[in-house]
Structure 1
Amino acid sequence: MGYAQTTYYVASSGSDSNNGRASDAPFQSINKINSLALQPGDQILFRRGDTFRGTLQITQSGSSMSPIVIDAYGAGNKPVLAGSSLVSNWTNIGNNLWQATCSACGDRVTGVYRNNAALPLGRYPNLDVSNKGYLTVQSHSGRSSLTSQQALITNWTGAEAVFRPVNWILNRSIIRGQSGNTLQLDGSGNFNVSDNWGYFIQNHPSTLDQVGEWYYNPATKTIQLFDNQANPNNSSITATTRAQSIVLTSVAYITIRNLQLAQSVATGILATNTSNLVFSSNDVVQSGEDGISLQGSGSQILMEGNLIEDANNNGLIIGAYQNFTFRGNTVQKIGLLPGRGKSGDGTYIGILMATTANTLFENNIIDNIGYNGITFSTSTTIQHNQVSNFCMTKSDGSGLYIWNGNQQVMANMHLLSNVVFNGIGAPEGAPSDQPAEANGIYLDDCTTNIEVANNTVYNCAGMGIYFHGTSNSKLTGNTLFNNSEAQFVIRNVNGCPPQTNVIKGNQFVSRLATQPTAKYEASSVAEVANFGQFDNNVYARPFEDVNKIHVYYGNVTGGDGYLVSSVAEPIRA
């Protein structure tokens, strides 16, 4: 059966009363496109240089030979599909505060922009003060209240408290009431408040004291903006009003290319139960939460040559998908603002994948990430990527990370020829005795059957490569340099003693005397001997060439051990 394969044109100067089938008679709106019964082979072309506000919803499928194509036409910048609305008619209400009604706004606003530059959500204390704007918890009751070490003069009822209970979590909780220095919280999140850890307050009119800071009141649908330098009516101010820029629901054979998806409340593109999707040469920017989210399940996904930038939570989330390829993309500036991402674990991450099958990540740049660069799963190959400047908002993460604390079957995982560097760590909001670790490659809690070969890992504020209860894995041909805690660490986890690993042909090079080249930690000498095969590794610390391999055994990590001063392999020491 053949199809007409119609091409539809959309331009901001068009009209929805046009037939849309010629560039000189284009449609005008996304809503018009949503009303069409698209057929396999149809093309939707948005004019370059134009901005279209709304959510493009694709509910029809193409075919293997005739996909539905969403693309650009004309010359100039990529057409913008924006999830935001213009906010105008600002009124000066005194004290350098301006207020405007946002009738299109819903129960929350996740971003406000001036001339397409993001403005900061109001926060107390400000991000640029000491300790990056964290106050300190004196005492607490579960998740329901916290008492501040610092005096709280303002009544913060209705604001949001952001508290850091452990190194790798930031939780957000609405303040339901206040008594002196004690805040009553709504109890959201999975972690209790922790004494002596940090917290701050956001999204309240009393936080507004720096240029561009904003606050949204959903009850009155008004935005307040602090500005003592300019009249916001002389700028283009937008606020997030639509959850997504593109939504795909239970469709297949869709190609999307050459678009910019911007300023959504939640996600730039949300695809649910989608297969045979090609997503290429797009820019997904300024997402209120996640850049791209693939929910449900599907197969045959290709994402290539895209930019994912400035997402408050995660850059890319992948559900239970098969045959997923992510190639030649740049993912950057993800989860860099504390309190703007979601609560709990699995947040502030460049790429987060669930249980996938036959997944390939190659030739990507992952840079400036709040927590883990890539959190991966079984049946995945990650090769020839650059992962840099991670764990900038939370600590105890890594550039490449996997967890298997529930001890699932793992197989077919390969980390090959990646360059991982500048794990930063975020000490602010944590007690001074808490290490702000940022490891290069972290195989966490009972991981198995992973090949780690020919990677370069350097300048991380933690361990270069960390086998945490890891077994049946291969570490070959890697170069690790100037990682603060050690270049390579194998450590016992209760119930998962490391065993039958192959550690061969690696170079562990420490720049400083305080950096061991390797640490091998177990409950007994016999357990160390079962770690696996160690051959032809280089252990080098040129300026302090003694006691550079640390072997510990006993019940206390770092105690009851001994140091190896030569370059002999630890299994033979």
Structure 2
Amino acid sequence: MDNCSRFYLLVRVGVCLNFDNFRSNIHKKLAMIKRRSIRNCLLVSIILMITSCSRTTSEFYVSPGGNDANSGTAKEPFKTIRKALENLPHDVSGSFVIHLTEGTYFQEEPLLVESGIFSNPETQLLLRAEEGANPVISGGIRIRDWQQLDDGLWEALVEPGKMPRELFIGDKRCVRARFPNEGFLRVKRVGEDRRTNFFFEADEFPAPQRADDTELVLLHDWSVSRIGLKEINLREKQITAVDSIGAKCLPFFNLDNWEEHPRYFLENDRAFLDADFEWYFDSETGKILLKLPPDQHPEELDVVFPISEGLLSLTGTKEHPVKNISFEGITFRHSAWGTPPRGYCGIQACFYDPRPASQQWDVVPAAIKAEWAENITFNKCTFQNLGGSGLWFSSGCKNCRVSNSQFSDISGNGIMIGEGQDRRVKGQPWWQEAPEEVALANTIENCTVTECGVRLYGAVGIWCGLTAEVNIKNNHIHNLPYTGISVGWMWSPVATPCRENVIDGNHIHNIMNVLSDGGGIYMLGLQPGSRLVNNHIHDVQINAGRAESNGMFLDEGTTDVLVANNLIYNIAKSPLRFHRATTNLVKENYLFCPPGNPPIRYNSTNEDDIQKVDNVVLTEGEEDYGVRLEEMIRKFQ
């Protein structure tokens, strides 16, 4: 075979192999040939041109001003991320990059990335912001053609079939018109069935103009119901919902079980539209009404509502997980999730009562969901203005990571890891039949999680179900209506795959701002080898329901957990609470208590089962309370 034939064969093979290795080998071959004969100069030039061209196939560029008919280069970028994904060479191994330039990438349905994206499971893909750019993936649609009404409101027609649940101007969430604007009303007396109806005080709220569109929002101790109205009887002063208010499957969700006069408010009627940046959607006319300050015009504003139910789906299988995909510097915004037709009646942490009834609890979906995925990473990303939950590493996810990222203004949970009890394998609960399928060794590190549960108050900042070896470290979690971090999903010490979960060095404060019966950290179930260590928890001041809120709440079945070197202060009730827990170790913590509250509360828990070693306990009013507290705050900063 002559030199030309050898090079032809080498080039043909090279296009099917890793281009980086190909370039290295080809240059070695070129050096040898150049020494043999000057007659190969022309061939050398041709091969260098081929290897140079091969580099462009490993990188693609996308721009909102691009065109999907382009080649995907920096000078001729694609318009959509979907087109860049379609153009990835599936049968070539190596590393690929999709660069996103400045701008907003609108989409009406989620991006789907499946395990078959590459034939070689070791191939890597990075979707990243171009240097200096802030690309936004948005599932929203801009509202145009506003008309001003005589009463100073603005009106716009929504595309037929769309049902807005959230509305945003820039990165500001507008308030769905409600009464009262702040705070809550109180149920006067529950109806006879304690489930579907209640009575209110005379003239307590403006009579809704369209009760069919009005939604009742009622607060339980640790969850919330959002449900439509069947009737408002002004003569009897009685509200009746379209279905049971509160979860049907649990008897303690009777309306007056926790509070005799539970809190509620009404939402979405023109009669409630009385404050700037409030809005109302009229389902009969298909129009949005928006109230703005006199000096603002909606055509000059970026008014958006979400239409895509989810933004990104990373979906593999147990046999073929989707692997090795990273996201860097990208903002995810405007994911839609609509309340179910028979209402959202929360059970806990955005799991809710299925309607019609089934054995499984439903769960509020996340804008970004990974399932049967490995080595998926999000770094320096932003998750904002979302209608459901934020990010979910769900069934079978392993070694996935989110770091240095921001989560804010999210209707449901901020971050979710693992799953609950309901999935079935061979007709049995997965955690019994196939415990090896547990979400394993996933990490949340150096993230900020704030203003989650904006609409679904029972949401948590970071939720982990039945999961193993999760590492939640050095995160800042604050300004939440309910719990900061929740780990576990079994209300007894029954053995599950849940083990060796570590909550380390997180700063958690100003949580439990609306609901009760939670804490900075909430844990339950048998969790051998799990550790709650080095956390800084403070300002849990509102205790609205019947059950108390705490710095840490170790709930039913909590077993084999180490609680060590945590600083907890400014808590309305006890810094620590155990409920139906078994053996655990509480060691070298700094517990600052309000007067009249013990450092540890034991509810149906044998105090002797909780081993306590070298904890520092101070009660407000003691001589050195303030000095010691300031000293410890400096230590944990």
- The TM-score with structure 1 as length reference comes to 0.80
- Separation of aligned partners in 2, 1:484 and 1:294: 42
Give per-residue Cα distances to partners, 1:538-561, cap 9 Å, x unaligned: xxx4499xxxxxxxxxxxxxxxxx
Residues 469 and 490 in structure 1, CA contact (< 8 A), matched pair in contact too: no
Specify the alignment match of 1:232 in structure 2.
298
Matches within 5 A, 1:139-178: 139-140=190-191, 141-151=193-203, 152-155=205-208, 156-164=211-219, 166-178=220-232
- What is the CA distance between 1:104 and its match in structure 2? 7.6
Instruction: Indicate how the Cα distance of structure 1 residues 327 and 64 shifts in structure 2: closer, same or farther if over 3 A, else same.
Output: farther
Matches within 5 A, 1:336-485: 337=454, 340-341=455-456, 347-377=458-488, 378-379=498-499, 380-404=501-525, 409-425=526-542, 427=544, 434=546, 437-483=548-594
Residues 10 and 26 in structure 1, CA contact (< 8 A), matched pair in contact too: yes
Instruction: Indicate how the Cα distance of structure 1 residues 153 and 458 shifts in structure 2: closer, same or farther if over 3 A, else same.
Output: closer
Instruction: Indicate how the Cα distance of structure 1 residues 170 and 473 shifts in structure 2: closer, same or farther if over 3 A, else same.
Output: same
Specify the alignment match of 1:503 in structure 2.
612
Read off the aligned partner of 2:407 and give its amino acid letter.
I
- Separation of aligned partners in 2, 1:463 and 1:457: 10
Which among 12, 15, 38 is matched to residue 67 of structure 2? 15
Residue 6 in structure 1 maps to residue 62 in structure 2: no
Residues 481 and 509 in structure 1, CA contact (< 8 A), matched pair in contact too: yes
- Separation of aligned partners in 2, 1:294 and 1:263: 19
Specify the alignment match of 2:174 in structure 1.
119
Give per-residue Cα distances to partners, 1:206-246, cap 9 Å, x unaligned: 22111111122455442211235232222221111111222
Read off the aligned partner of 2:569 and give its amino acid letter.
Y
Specify the alignment match of 1:32 in structure 2.
83
- What is the CA distance between 1:174 and its match in structure 2? 0.6
Which among 301, 310, 324 is matched to residue 244 of structure 1? 310
Instruction: Indicate how the Cα distance of structure 1 residues 394 and 36 shifts in structure 2: closer, same or farther if over 3 A, else same.
Output: farther
Instruction: Indicate how the Cα distance of structure 1 residues 390 and 70 shifts in structure 2: closer, same or farther if over 3 A, else same.
Output: same
- What is the CA distance between 1:297 and its match in structure 2? 2.4
- Separation of aligned partners in 2, 1:26 and 1:84: 23
Matches within 5 A, 1:174-189: 174-180=228-234, 181-188=237-244, 189=246
Specify the alignment match of 2:413 in structure 1.
314
SS of match in other structure, 1:161: strand
Residues 326 and 362 in structure 1, CA contact (< 8 A), matched pair in contact too: yes
Of Structure 1 and Structure 2, the greater helix share is in 2
Residues 487 and 508 in structure 1, CA contact (< 8 A), matched pair in contact too: no
Instruction: Indicate how the Cα distance of structure 1 residues 38 and 491 shifts in structure 2: closer, same or farther if over 3 A, else same.
Output: farther
- What is the CA distance between 1:34 and its match in structure 2? 5.4
- What is the CA distance between 1:199 and its match in structure 2? 1.0
Read off the aligned partner of 1:124 and give its amino acid letter.
F
Which among 363, 378, 382 is matched to residue 279 of structure 1? 378
Residues 481 and 487 in structure 1, CA contact (< 8 A), matched pair in contact too: no
Give per-residue Cα distances to partners, 1:378-424, cap 9 Å, x unaligned: 421111111111101212210011134xxxx4311101111111113
Structure 2's unaligned 5+ residue stretches are 1-15, 20-56, 248-252, 317-321, 338-365, 420-438, 489-497, 626-637
- Separation of aligned partners in 1, 2:155 and 2:85: 34
Which among 195, 198, 213 is matched to residue 278 of structure 2? 213
Read off the aligned partner of 1:424 and give its amino acid letter.
Q
Read off the aligned partner of 2:518 and give its amino acid letter.
G
Matches within 5 A, 1:505-544: 505-512=614-621, 541-542=622-623
- Separation of aligned partners in 2, 1:115 and 1:369: 22
Specify the alignment match of 1:97 in structure 2.
153
Paired residue total? 488
What RMSD in Å do the two structures reach over aligned CA positions?
Answer: 2.3
- The TM-score with structure 2 as length reference comes to 0.72
Once the two structures are aligned, what percentage of the paired residues are identical?
22
Residue 334 in structure 1 maps to residue 452 in structure 2: yes
Residue 51 in structure 1 maps to residue 66 in structure 2: no
Instruction: Indicate how the Cα distance of structure 1 residues 61 and 425 shifts in structure 2: closer, same or farther if over 3 A, else same.
Output: farther
Give per-residue Cα distances to partners, 1:246-272, cap 9 Å, x unaligned: 221212221111101012114331222
Instruction: Indicate how the Cα distance of structure 1 residues 403 and 27 shifts in structure 2: closer, same or farther if over 3 A, else same.
Output: same
Specify the alignment match of 1:66 in structure 2.
123
Residues 137 and 198 in structure 1, CA contact (< 8 A), matched pair in contact too: no
Residues 588 and 614 in structure 2, CA contact (< 8 A), matched pair in contact too: yes
- What is the CA distance between 1:150 and its match in structure 2? 4.1
Instruction: Indicate how the Cα distance of structure 1 residues 91 and 244 shifts in structure 2: closer, same or farther if over 3 A, else same.
Output: same
- Return 108-117 or 9-18, whichever deviates more: 108-117
- What is the CA distance between 1:425 and its match in structure 2? 1.9
Specify the alignment match of 2:263 in structure 1.
198
- Separation of aligned partners in 2, 1:96 and 1:182: 33
Specify the alignment match of 1:134 in structure 2.
185
- What is the CA distance between 1:278 and its match in structure 2? 1.3
Instruction: Indicate how the Cα distance of structure 1 residues 463 and 64 shifts in structure 2: closer, same or farther if over 3 A, else same.
Output: farther
Specify the alignment match of 1:566 in structure 2.
none
Specify the alignment match of 1:527 in structure 2.
none
- Separation of aligned partners in 2, 1:484 and 1:201: 38
- What is the CA distance between 1:31 and its match in structure 2? 4.2
Read off the aligned partner of 2:175 and give its amino acid letter.
P
Residues 213 and 282 in structure 2, CA contact (< 8 A), matched pair in contact too: no
Instruction: Indicate how the Cα distance of structure 1 residues 276 and 211 shifts in structure 2: closer, same or farther if over 3 A, else same.
Output: same
- What is the CA distance between 1:92 and its match in structure 2? 2.0
Q: Rg bigger for which structure?
A: 2
- Return 171-180 or 349-358, whichever deviates more: 171-180
- What is the CA distance between 1:455 and its match in structure 2? 0.6
Residues 362 and 384 in structure 1, CA contact (< 8 A), matched pair in contact too: yes
- Return 386-395 or 33-42, whichever deviates more: 33-42
Which among 401, 404, 422 is matched to residue 302 of structure 1? 401
Of Structure 1 and Structure 2, the greater strand share is in 1
Read off the aligned partner of 1:68 and give its amino acid letter.
L
- Separation of aligned partners in 2, 1:354 and 1:217: 38
- Return 57-66 or 446-455, whichever deviates more: 57-66
- Separation of aligned partners in 2, 1:271 and 1:153: 45
Instruction: Indicate how the Cα distance of structure 1 residues 479 and 162 shifts in structure 2: closer, same or farther if over 3 A, else same.
Output: same
Instruction: Indicate how the Cα distance of structure 1 residues 381 and 38 shifts in structure 2: closer, same or farther if over 3 A, else same.
Output: farther
- Separation of aligned partners in 1, 2:254 and 2:305: 32
Specify the alignment match of 1:552 in structure 2.
none
Specify the alignment match of 1:535 in structure 2.
none
Instruction: Indicate how the Cα distance of structure 1 residues 373 and 265 shifts in structure 2: closer, same or farther if over 3 A, else same.
Output: same
- Separation of aligned partners in 1, 2:168 and 2:206: 30
